Amino acid sequence: MATVRIPTPLRTLTGGEDQVQAVGDTVKDVIENLEKNHPGIRERLLDEKGVRRFVNIYVGDEDIRFLDGLSTALKATDEISIVPAIAGG
Amino acid sequence: MSISSPERDALQFKSALVVGVGGLGCPVALALAEAGVGRIVLCDDDWVDTTNLHRQILFAEADVGSHKLDAAERALYRAGARPHSIELVRSRFLPENARELSRSVDVVIEGADNFATKFLCADACFLERRAVIHGAAVRLSATVLSVAPEGAPCYRCLFEDLPTGASAPNCAEAGVLGPVVGLAGAIMADRALSALLGDRSAFGSLVSYDGKTDRAREVSLLARAHCALCSSESSIHEITYQRYTAPSCAA
């Protein structure tokens, strides 16, 4: 079971939780599992082309764009981080 | 970083542009001025409001209603900072002034509250080959990205293009917490001073801070192979209005 760190703008979808657990062998599987428990989150992360252009997803410290993208295989101890573009200050 | 006496001497001859004198720009400007940066250019078109005071540390209640740049200049001198010059650009950072302003300094520090300005700043700095430090903070989250004059990676390597449509992050719901922007501003200033002193080690790094868990992580980015700005396949060679027309963020 992977740990997914949820950024502030998406915590409205996770009941305020800053990290949640999700199951899946790949990043795509984990996102589908997240969607079951937190409806709406998939649309915030993905579009018809894949990961939205203003979102980055990391497995550990590695950007999945430089791994196998959504097909990146996961270990049970992996931590997934979502880094969306933010503007404010 | 600590600054030695020779480095302080060197900073007297350096210049920096601060885009947006808000929650991020205020601590950045203060830190740069106190470090001895000789020429500081502040760019903003806004006036001080009471809602700014909890996080925009250069402003006090007596400044409410003043132009932010006037209040910031007073505060910097009051704090004892003595840059050779503080230049005030009473305007937004816009397509018509972006390249000239970027070209006029050694480093650009961008703490804008909207995506259009962030992408404009990224593009102008790359086209003028200037290092740029991008910062952002929403609620308890903050990010700081340091970009080399030649990019690779750049802001567009990370986020490609402006968010559009209903799926864009909803900034209108967001607030900003004072200590989080203060921390982000301090990191931005640190990265800017490093760049001014010729230290390239932070270029390409993205710092993400989460105030709820008090955790920061830093990752080294890789350049996007097909980046529209800084790759060999770039398609952005000039600044055009149409490229920056996404709605502003209300945060």
Q: Using 50, 70 and 90 to split pLDDT, how confident is the model at B246?
A: low
* pLDDT score for B178: 83
What is the percentage of chain B residues whose pLDDT exceeds 90?
78
Is residue A25 scored above 50 in pLDDT? Answer: yes
The pair of structure tokens assigned to A9 is: 């703008």
Q: What residues of A are in contact with residue B23 (Cβ under 8 Å)?
A: 88-89
Task: Give residue limits of the domains in chain A.
Answer: 2-84
* pLDDT score for B229: 98
Average pLDDT of span B199-226: 92
- Based on the residue annotation, tell me whether B171 is a catalytic residue of this protein: yes
Is residue B251 scored above 70 in pLDDT? Answer: no
Q: B141 with B210: CB under 8 angstroms?
A: yes
The pair of structure tokens assigned to A40 is: 């709406």
Task: Give residue limits of the domains in chain B.
Answer: 5-244
Average pLDDT, chain A: 92
Average pLDDT of span B36-65: 96
Among the partner residues B138, B161, B217, nearest to A8 by beta-carbon distance:
B138
Contact between chains at A43 and B169 (C-beta distance less than 8 A): no
Average pLDDT of span A17-41: 96
Rounded CA separation B57/B70 (Å): 14
Is residue B167 scored above 60 in pLDDT? Answer: no
Is residue A4 scored above 70 in pLDDT? Answer: yes
Is residue A7 scored above 50 in pLDDT? Answer: yes
Predicted structure pTM score: 0.91
Domain covering A2-84, topology: Ubiquitin-like (UB roll) (3.10.20)
Is residue B208 scored above 60 in pLDDT? Answer: yes
Is residue B172 scored above 60 in pLDDT? Answer: no
Contact between chains at A81 and B222 (C-beta distance less than 8 A): no
Is residue B234 scored above 90 in pLDDT? Answer: yes
Among the partner residues A43, A87, A88, nearest to B167 by beta-carbon distance:
A43
Chain B nearest-CA residue for A82: B208
Q: Which of A3, A4, A5, A8 to mutate to test the interface with B (most CBs of B within 10 A)?
A: A8
* pLDDT score for B248: 47
Q: What residue spans of B143-251 are helical by DSSP H?
A: 155-159, 178-196
Q: Using 50, 70 and 90 to split pLDDT, how confident is the model at A66?
A: confident
Is residue A14 scored above 80 in pLDDT? Answer: yes
Average pLDDT, chain B: 91
Q: CATH for B5-244?
A: 3.40.50.720
Rounded CA separation A27/A59 (Å): 8
Give which of A31, A19, A9 is closest to A79, Cα–Cα.
A19
Rounded CA separation A55/B230 (Å): 19
* pLDDT score for B166: 46
Is residue B112 scored above 90 in pLDDT? Answer: yes
Rounded CA separation B71/B112 (Å): 18
